[in-house]
Amino acid sequence: MERLIAAIEPDDEQGEPPLLPILNRYKPTGSTGDVNFKTTKPCFPTAFSHINQVVGDTQTWEQSAAFRLEQAKRAYAKNDHLELAIPYEYLGVSHAYIPDFLICLEAGVTLILEIKGYQDDQDLAKHQAAKRWCSAVNNWGQLGRWVFHVCKDPQMLGQELTWLGKQTAGMATAST
Protein backbone atom coordinates (compact mmCIF):
# COMPACT_ATOMS: atom_id res chain seq x y z
CA MET A 1 0.00 0.00 0.00
CA GLU A 2 2.90 2.38 0.75
CA ARG A 3 4.23 1.98 -2.82
CA LEU A 4 0.79 2.64 -4.29
CA ILE A 5 0.38 5.80 -2.25
CA ALA A 6 3.92 6.93 -3.18
CA ALA A 7 3.15 6.38 -6.87
CA ILE A 8 0.19 8.78 -6.86
CA GLU A 9 1.07 12.02 -8.62
CA PRO A 10 -0.88 15.29 -8.69
CA ASP A 11 -3.41 15.75 -11.50
CA ASP A 12 -2.28 18.82 -13.46
CA GLU A 13 -5.54 18.90 -15.41
CA GLN A 14 -7.49 19.29 -12.15
CA GLY A 15 -5.28 22.18 -11.03
CA GLU A 16 -3.36 20.26 -8.38
CA PRO A 17 0.13 21.70 -7.81
CA PRO A 18 3.02 19.57 -9.14
CA LEU A 19 5.43 17.65 -6.94
CA LEU A 20 8.39 19.81 -5.94
CA PRO A 21 11.54 18.79 -4.08
CA ILE A 22 12.05 19.65 -0.43
CA LEU A 23 15.57 21.03 -0.28
CA ASN A 24 18.06 21.29 2.53
CA ARG A 25 17.79 24.98 3.40
CA TYR A 26 21.48 25.20 4.32
CA LYS A 27 22.76 23.42 1.23
CA PRO A 28 20.03 23.08 -1.41
CA THR A 29 22.31 21.59 -4.08
CA GLY A 30 25.56 19.69 -3.97
CA SER A 31 28.69 19.54 -6.06
CA THR A 32 31.41 17.02 -6.76
CA GLY A 33 33.83 19.84 -5.94
CA ASP A 34 32.86 19.42 -2.27
CA VAL A 35 33.87 15.74 -2.11
CA ASN A 36 36.98 15.22 0.02
CA PHE A 37 37.27 12.30 2.40
CA LYS A 38 39.56 9.48 3.48
CA THR A 39 38.68 5.80 3.38
CA THR A 40 40.24 2.45 4.16
CA LYS A 41 38.21 0.76 1.39
CA PRO A 42 39.90 -0.11 -1.91
CA CYS A 43 39.84 2.75 -4.46
CA PHE A 44 40.25 2.81 -8.22
CA PRO A 45 41.48 5.78 -10.29
CA THR A 46 39.13 7.30 -12.87
CA ALA A 47 39.46 9.35 -16.04
CA PHE A 48 35.83 10.32 -16.69
CA SER A 49 34.47 10.72 -13.18
CA HIS A 50 34.17 14.17 -11.66
CA ILE A 51 35.87 12.60 -8.63
CA ASN A 52 39.38 11.17 -9.03
CA GLN A 53 38.72 7.80 -7.33
CA VAL A 54 35.86 5.30 -7.14
CA VAL A 55 35.51 3.64 -3.74
CA GLY A 56 34.86 -0.11 -3.89
CA ASP A 57 31.86 -0.70 -1.61
CA THR A 58 30.97 -4.13 -3.00
CA GLN A 59 33.05 -7.09 -4.16
CA THR A 60 32.61 -6.47 -7.90
CA TRP A 61 29.28 -4.94 -8.98
CA GLU A 62 29.94 -1.23 -8.47
CA GLN A 63 33.54 -1.57 -9.64
CA SER A 64 32.29 -3.31 -12.80
CA ALA A 65 29.81 -0.49 -13.34
CA ALA A 66 32.57 2.12 -12.94
CA PHE A 67 34.71 0.19 -15.43
CA ARG A 68 31.82 0.22 -17.95
CA LEU A 69 31.25 3.93 -17.37
CA GLU A 70 34.93 4.57 -18.05
CA GLN A 71 34.70 2.49 -21.24
CA ALA A 72 31.63 4.45 -22.33
CA LYS A 73 33.53 7.69 -21.70
CA ARG A 74 30.63 9.14 -19.72
CA ALA A 75 30.96 11.87 -17.14
CA TYR A 76 29.84 10.35 -13.85
CA ALA A 77 30.27 10.37 -10.11
CA LYS A 78 29.81 7.63 -7.58
CA ASN A 79 27.36 8.89 -4.98
CA ASP A 80 29.82 8.57 -2.12
CA HIS A 81 29.89 11.59 0.19
CA LEU A 82 27.89 13.63 -2.36
CA GLU A 83 25.03 13.66 0.14
CA LEU A 84 22.35 12.82 -2.43
CA ALA A 85 19.90 10.96 -0.22
CA ILE A 86 16.30 10.38 -1.29
CA PRO A 87 13.76 10.04 1.54
CA TYR A 88 11.36 7.11 1.44
CA GLU A 89 9.12 5.16 3.75
CA TYR A 90 9.15 1.41 4.22
CA LEU A 91 6.92 -0.46 6.67
CA GLY A 92 5.96 2.83 8.28
CA VAL A 93 9.56 3.88 9.00
CA SER A 94 11.35 6.78 7.27
CA HIS A 95 14.64 5.96 5.56
CA ALA A 96 17.17 7.62 3.24
CA TYR A 97 18.03 5.95 -0.06
CA ILE A 98 21.54 6.64 -1.38
CA PRO A 99 21.74 5.71 -5.10
CA ASP A 100 24.98 4.33 -6.55
CA PHE A 101 25.91 6.70 -9.41
CA LEU A 102 25.03 9.98 -11.12
CA ILE A 103 25.74 10.02 -14.86
CA CYS A 104 25.57 12.79 -17.46
CA LEU A 105 23.56 11.72 -20.49
CA GLU A 106 22.87 13.62 -23.70
CA ALA A 107 21.35 17.12 -23.70
CA GLY A 108 21.91 17.81 -20.01
CA VAL A 109 19.95 14.85 -18.67
CA THR A 110 21.25 13.39 -15.39
CA LEU A 111 20.78 9.69 -14.76
CA ILE A 112 20.49 8.29 -11.25
CA LEU A 113 21.83 4.76 -11.61
CA GLU A 114 21.35 1.91 -9.18
CA ILE A 115 23.32 -1.32 -9.63
CA LYS A 116 21.19 -4.10 -8.19
CA GLY A 117 21.06 -7.81 -8.95
CA TYR A 118 18.43 -8.97 -6.48
CA GLN A 119 15.53 -6.69 -5.52
CA ASP A 120 13.35 -7.07 -2.46
CA ASP A 121 10.30 -5.06 -1.39
CA GLN A 122 12.42 -2.42 0.32
CA ASP A 123 14.45 -1.94 -2.88
CA LEU A 124 11.22 -1.43 -4.82
CA ALA A 125 10.19 1.24 -2.28
CA LYS A 126 13.57 2.96 -2.78
CA HIS A 127 13.22 2.86 -6.57
CA GLN A 128 9.67 4.25 -6.44
CA ALA A 129 10.94 7.09 -4.24
CA ALA A 130 13.77 7.81 -6.71
CA LYS A 131 11.29 8.04 -9.60
CA ARG A 132 9.09 10.37 -7.57
CA TRP A 133 12.15 12.43 -6.64
CA CYS A 134 13.09 12.75 -10.34
CA SER A 135 9.55 13.89 -11.10
CA ALA A 136 9.74 16.56 -8.38
CA VAL A 137 13.16 17.82 -9.53
CA ASN A 138 11.98 17.90 -13.15
CA ASN A 139 8.91 19.90 -12.11
CA TRP A 140 11.15 22.34 -10.22
CA GLY A 141 13.25 22.82 -13.38
CA GLN A 142 16.39 24.27 -11.77
CA LEU A 143 18.70 21.25 -12.25
CA GLY A 144 17.94 20.11 -15.79
CA ARG A 145 16.16 16.82 -16.47
CA TRP A 146 16.65 13.73 -14.29
CA VAL A 147 15.83 10.05 -14.86
CA PHE A 148 16.24 6.90 -12.77
CA HIS A 149 17.38 3.47 -13.94
CA VAL A 150 18.21 0.15 -12.29
CA CYS A 151 20.94 -1.92 -13.96
CA LYS A 152 20.67 -5.60 -13.07
CA ASP A 153 23.87 -6.66 -14.85
CA PRO A 154 26.91 -4.33 -14.92
CA GLN A 155 28.19 -6.15 -18.03
CA MET A 156 25.17 -4.76 -19.92
CA LEU A 157 25.63 -1.20 -18.65
CA GLY A 158 27.28 0.12 -21.83
CA GLN A 159 24.34 -1.05 -23.95
CA GLU A 160 21.83 0.27 -21.43
CA LEU A 161 23.52 3.70 -21.43
CA THR A 162 23.33 3.83 -25.23
CA TRP A 163 19.62 2.96 -25.09
CA LEU A 164 18.95 5.46 -22.27
CA GLY A 165 20.83 8.16 -24.17
CA LYS A 166 18.57 7.66 -27.17
CA GLN A 167 15.45 7.60 -24.97
CA THR A 168 16.37 10.84 -23.20
CA ALA A 169 17.89 12.74 -26.16
CA GLY A 170 14.83 14.95 -26.61
CA MET A 171 13.97 15.39 -22.93
CA ALA A 172 15.90 18.59 -22.23
CA THR A 173 14.68 20.35 -25.36
CA ALA A 174 11.10 19.11 -24.96
CA SER A 175 10.81 20.68 -21.51
CA THR A 176 12.16 24.13 -22.39
> pLDDT for 59-109, tens place per residue?
788 888 999 999 999 899 999 888 899 999 999 999 999 999 999 998 889
Let me know if residue 81 belongs to a domain: yes
Range of the domain at 53: 44-171
The CATH number linked to 113 is 3.40.1350
What is the value of pTM for the model shown? 0.85
pLDDT at 102: 95
Contacts 24+ apart (CB under 8 A), 98-102: 99/130, 99/148, 100/62, 100/65, 101/65, 101/66, 101/69, 101/76, 101/77, 102/76, 102/77
* Of 155, 74, 76, 146, the residue nearest 117 (C-alpha): 155
* Of 102, 112, 109, the residue nearest 54 (C-alpha): 102
Let me know if residue 176 belongs to a domain: no
Rounded CA-CA distance 162/63 in Å is: 19
Let me know if residue 34 belongs to a domain: no
Rounded CA-CA distance 54/76 in Å is: 10
Q: DSSP characters for 117-171?
A: SS--HHHHHHHHHHHHHHHHHHHH-SS-EEEEEEES-GGGHHHHHHHHHHHHTTH
What integer is the mean pLDDT of 143-157?
A: 94
**DSSP one-letter code for 91:** T
pLDDT at 176: 41
> Which residues touch 81 (CB under 8 Å, ≥6 apart)?
35, 36, 37
pLDDT band at 4 (very low <50, low <70, confident <90, very high): low
- Mean residue pLDDT across the chain: 85
Provide the domain count of the chain. Answer: 1
Query: Where would I find the H helices in 8-147?
Result: 61-72, 121-140
* Of 134, 61, 135, 136, the residue nearest 102 (C-alpha): 134
Let me know if residue 147 belongs to a domain: yes
pLDDT at 140: 92
pLDDT for residue 3 is more than 90: no
Rounded CA-CA distance 59/117 in Å is: 13
Let me know if residue 95 belongs to a domain: yes
Let me know if residue 11 belongs to a domain: no
What integer is the mean pLDDT of 121-126?
A: 94
Rounded CA-CA distance 6/95 in Å is: 14
pLDDT for residue 37 is more than 70: yes
Let me know if residue 59 belongs to a domain: yes
- Residue 149 bridge partners (DSSP): 113
Let me know if residue 105 belongs to a domain: yes
